[in-house]
């Protein structure tokens, strides 16, 4: 049974296989502003080695700490992986608060991504459901979740979890989701 867990080094091979799927799917290009895209560009050349992967995992786990240095406009974020044993299926981020300005309104509190080979199997819906009590433990009574207008699967995932539509912003649909 898949579960959300803190990133760990013992899923290295499965993680690399997932990243190859993302690259084959066109991810990691300069116009890919997703977390996966950013990580592919920043760490893709080093995470094939065990020490490089360990540094990447350390970077991700440090993001939840308030004192971790981060670029302006970035906020503490709990990064979790959706794993079925040692099989990497996806990633979910919970921002501890909205980023300042329009970025927070566009990106929301929670973002998720399922590896291409594991899509259309209910993983995104299950990940988001599993994240709700974790967001509540961070003190968030409700979370803002966004998706692009044309991302029908993500919209359905949010709605299946009880997302309440809010005012769209640009190309983003916005939903509020209670955490309890």
Q: What is the pLDDT along the chain (180 residues), one digit of tens a residue?
A: 999 999 999 999 999 999 999 999 999 999 998 899 999 999 999 999 999 999 999 999 999 999 999 989 999 999 999 999 999 999 999 999 999 988 888 899 999 999 999 999 999 999 999 999 999 999 999 999 999 999 999 999 999 999 999 999 999 999 999 998
Q: How many domains is the chain partitioned into structurally?
A: 1
Helices then strands (H, E): number in the chain?
6, 7
In a domain, 133, yes or no: no
Question: How many C-beta atoms surround the C-beta of residue 37 within 10 A?
Answer: 19
Domain limits at 124? 3-128
Sign of the dihedral defined by the CA atoms of residues 103, 106, 111, 117, in that order:
negative
In a domain, 44, yes or no: yes
In a domain, 7, yes or no: yes
In a domain, 87, yes or no: yes
Residue 164 tokens read as: 């309440």
CA distance 36 to 90: 10
Which residues lie below 8 Å from residue 154, measured CB to CB, with a gap of 6+?
Answer: 124, 147, 148
In a domain, 84, yes or no: yes
pLDDT of 39 reads 95
pLDDT of 103 reads 83
Q: Bridge-partner residues for 146, per DSSP?
A: 174
For residue 88, what is the domain's CATH number? 3.40.630.30
pLDDT of 177 reads 97
CA distance 49 to 16: 10
In a domain, 39, yes or no: yes
pLDDT of 102 reads 84
pLDDT of 101 reads 87
State the burial class of residue 137 (Cβ atoms within 10 Å of its Cβ: 0-12, 13-18, 19+). exposed
């Amino acid at each position: 049974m898949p579960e959300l867990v803190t990133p760990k080094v013992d899923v290295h091979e499965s993680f690399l296989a997932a990243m190859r799927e993302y690259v084959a799917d066109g991810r990691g290009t300069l116009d890919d502003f997703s977390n996966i895209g950013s990580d592919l560009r920043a760490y893709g050349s080093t995470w094939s080695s065990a020490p490089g992967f360990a540094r990447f995992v350390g970077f991700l786990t440090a993001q939840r700490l308030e004192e971790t240095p981060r670029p302006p406009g970035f906020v503490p974020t709990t990064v979790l992986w959706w794993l079925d044993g040692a099989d990497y299926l996806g990633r979910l981020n919970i921002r501890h608060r909205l980023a300042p300005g329009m970025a927070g309104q566009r990106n929301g509190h929670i973002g998720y991504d399922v590896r291409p080979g594991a899509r259309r199997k209910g993983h995104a819906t299950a990940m988001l459901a599993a994240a709700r009590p974790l967001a509540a433990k961070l003190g968030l009574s409700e979370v803002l979740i966004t998706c692009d207008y044309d991302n029908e699967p993500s919209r359905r995932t949010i709605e299946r979890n009880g997302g309440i539509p809010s005012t769209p912003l640009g190309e983003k649909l916005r939903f509020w989701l209670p955490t309890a």
